[in-house]
Structure 1
Amino acid sequence: MKKGLLILSVAALGFAACGGGFQKGPSGLLYNIHNDVKGDSIADGDFISLNIIAKTDGDSVLYNSYELDRPSQTFVSKPAYPGDLFYAIKLLSKGDSATFKIDLDSAEAKGQPKPATIKGKYIIYTVKIEEVIHKDTADEKGFQSKVEAYFKAEGERSKNAEEKNIKKYVADSKVKADALPSGLFVATTTEGKGIQPVVGDSVVVNYTGKLLSGKVFDTSVEADAKKAKIFNPARAPYQPLSLIIGKGNVIPGFDEGVLKMKKGGKATIIIPSKLGYGEQGMPGGMIGPFTPLVFDLELVDVVQKNEVPTAAPVVPVAPAK
């Protein structure tokens, strides 16, 4: 943390020690810096990469970047009010870690609506600052080049680690998975007794998609959605995905995995990024560049392309771009 003007301004706002190792900040902010590395503090407009866990008072996890196998990245905004999360983050520098308690009642009083689903007094953030690129107003182009170089380096890191991470997942899961020439892994958990689909057939599939960390990002199964705490009432009723297989309606690895199954069968497939969302990942989503995926599949039905398919609701799985 910077030891100059920032400390003076913090002192002027009346920070003081409080119980449990936390210190008091403005608007009910409580903070505890666990690791304080010397360096320039984060400022408005800086680019930061950080690992962050957000929880409620009752330890309900709202967000966990560690489950996504990559840190979060953002440009630092001017705080909406003294004591919000960006205000707290600006107390840190690269390498620092801390816990912040953001007072929701104070936030509401400052014009930040309290989330209806959160009943406690605080949202609790545990953060570790992995990288900081300080904004350079005198060289905006140079600043943007540094940010682009960071993303390129992170992409290369993920790319180089992907094969090793997949092999480790297969070994740790202790399932018998067949490695296909494409790079897809298929582990049959229940052998189907019905017909095997071919390209152009209509299929009905239950699926649960996960990252290697086990974090569920999508599912057609209501029980799995509730267990993973991603249940969305607006989506109910949860029902199987219906699609014509092998026509690019889903990511290539999903197509290939289903084509290896028989009606009534269940399988787990591990999809390398080249058969998923590739080097771009899913924009705005939790699937980053060079991210392998795991799908638990159940092939509920197969209607051959020369037959009339029965109607079934469609739950989209976005295809690769």
Structure 2
Amino acid sequence: MKKNLVFLAVAAIGFAGCNGGFKKSDGGLLYNIVDDKSGTNITNNDFVSANVIAKTDADSVLFSTYDTGHPAFLTIPAKLQSKGDIYSAMMLLSEGDSAEVKVNADSLFKKGMPKPPGFKGKFVIYEIKINKVISKGKLSDQVFGGRIQDYFKTEAAKMKAAEPGKIQKYIADHKINATKSDSGLYYQITKQGSGALPAKGDTVVVNYTGRFVTNGKVFETSDKAVAQKEKVFNPMAPYKPIHIPVGINAVIKGWDQGLMMLNKGAQATLVIPSNLAYGEQGFQAIGPYTPLAFDVEVIDIIHPNPNAPKPVMPQLPGQPSAK
């Protein structure tokens, strides 16, 4: 879940370069409208929900809202910083439209955007699909905000209703012989360990790989080989087992419950519904009502030493925090 290229961060960055098939706007913006629906174009102060894929010109995906399970939400500024920024691209579109926007990679990364590890290519191409537009117009801030909140509630209800089906599809597609706990956690112990199970307050040393249930893509892992294979490798990541104190609500409920069923050497797959993960609020790139899947391996179980300092939890973006 490393934010290699977060869509909203490029809002104020201009576009440069040229490529066949793309048009150039007055501000030098390169764009290609793929679907053009009838409707009023997006304008200043409008609220927009959009799905976005960022990829290289070699078609290697850098970031996708489809992976995270929820779109990007933003409000068009009252005044644009540049005629060629990302908001300018959206103001060429209306609800239901889709477009490709091309960014010169050198220009993009020189203006403060971190370059993704292993990036190759001349351009970053954004595929934008406008899902919903709520026009500000002459609405008061209170009425405008209320309409946005109503939209969020409607979308959250849809995601909540779709969650059980996503879980069952993932289990079936990956041939997981899952057992469902009383709390709703789905798990399969794929390798039995040895020794006693961890007790409350023990620290479990674990390797893990987290996947989005929507498509099975890896969003975080402690295993370097997996990161390289799944093309999510980050040279800044430590890639080593993490230490998780269990039974004290230090992590999400699905992890707490799952790890306490595993002894040293055990391996398991945990499919965690959102009520045992990040719930209706979500967390960073994880949207509301998002179920997650983890492959875990218990490397060791450390019993607490009352005289030892408390372990410092690694702040990995993909680590399942309880907060």
TM-score bracket for this pair, using the shorter chain length: 0.7 to 0.9
Structure 1 equivalent of residue 12 of structure 2: none
Q: CA deviation at 1:26?
A: 3.7
Residue-by-residue CA offset, 1:254-281 (whole Å, 9 max, x unaligned): 0111111121011110011111111111
* Unaligned segments of structure 1, at least 5 residues: 1-17
CA distance in 2: counterparts of 1:93 and 1:195, whole angstroms: 60
> Any conservation in 1 of the 2:56–2:124 contact (CA below 8 Å)?
yes
Q: CA deviation at 1:104?
A: 4.8
What root-mean-square deviation, in Å, do the aligned CA atoms of Structure 1 and Structure 2 show? 2.7
**Structure 1 pair 309–138 and aligned structure 2 pair: CA distance change class (3 A):** closer
Q: CA deviation at 1:116?
A: 4.5
Q: Identity over the aligned pairs, expressed in percent?
A: 44
CA distance in 2: counterparts of 1:320 and 1:312, whole angstroms: 16
Which residue type is aligned with residue 210 of structure 2?
Answer: G
> Any conservation in 2 of the 1:85–1:102 contact (CA below 8 Å)?
no
> Any conservation in 2 of the 1:225–1:231 contact (CA below 8 Å)?
yes
Residue-by-residue CA offset, 1:115-166 (whole Å, 9 max, x unaligned): 5555644221111110000113442211100001111111111111111211
Structure 2 equivalent of residue 202 of structure 1: 203
Structure 1 equivalent of residue 127 of structure 2: 126
Q: CA deviation at 1:311?
A: 10
- Corresponding residue SS for 2:220: strand
Is the helix fraction higher in 1 or 2? 1
CA distance in 1: counterparts of 2:126 and 2:249, whole angstroms: 40
Structure 2 equivalent of residue 43 of structure 1: 43
CA distance in 2: counterparts of 1:107 and 1:303, whole angstroms: 46
- Corresponding residue SS for 1:200: coil
**Structure 1 pair 122–164 and aligned structure 2 pair: CA distance change class (3 A):** same
CA distance in 2: counterparts of 1:19 and 1:119, whole angstroms: 17
**Normalized against structure 1, the TM-score is what?**
0.84
- Corresponding residue SS for 2:290: coil
> Any conservation in 1 of the 2:69–2:286 contact (CA below 8 Å)?
no
Which residue type is aligned with residue 96 of structure 1?
Answer: D
CA distance in 2: counterparts of 1:174 and 1:215, whole angstroms: 16
My pick for the range that moved more, 141-150 or 129-138, is: 129-138
Which residue type is aligned with residue 231 of structure 1?
Answer: F
**Structure 1 pair 235–105 and aligned structure 2 pair: CA distance change class (3 A):** closer
> Any conservation in 1 of the 2:250–2:322 contact (CA below 8 Å)?
no
Structure 2 equivalent of residue 222 of structure 1: 224
Which residue type is aligned with residue 256 of structure 2?
Answer: D
Which residue type is aligned with residue 84 of structure 1?
Answer: D
**Structure 1 pair 280–234 and aligned structure 2 pair: CA distance change class (3 A):** same
My pick for the range that moved more, 303-312 or 204-213, is: 303-312
> Any conservation in 1 of the 2:42–2:91 contact (CA below 8 Å)?
yes
Residue-by-residue CA offset, 1:175-233 (whole Å, 9 max, x unaligned): 21111111000112212133322222221111112211223232222223333444333
- Corresponding residue SS for 2:130: strand
CA distance in 2: counterparts of 1:163 and 1:306, whole angstroms: 41
CA distance in 1: counterparts of 2:164 and 2:249, whole angstroms: 24
**Structure 1 pair 136–66 and aligned structure 2 pair: CA distance change class (3 A):** same
Paired residue total: 299
> Any conservation in 2 of the 1:45–1:75 contact (CA below 8 Å)?
yes
CA distance in 2: counterparts of 1:198 and 1:113, whole angstroms: 47
Residue-by-residue CA offset, 1:218-250 (whole Å, 9 max, x unaligned): 2222223333444333332x2211132111111
**Normalized against structure 2, the TM-score is what?**
0.83
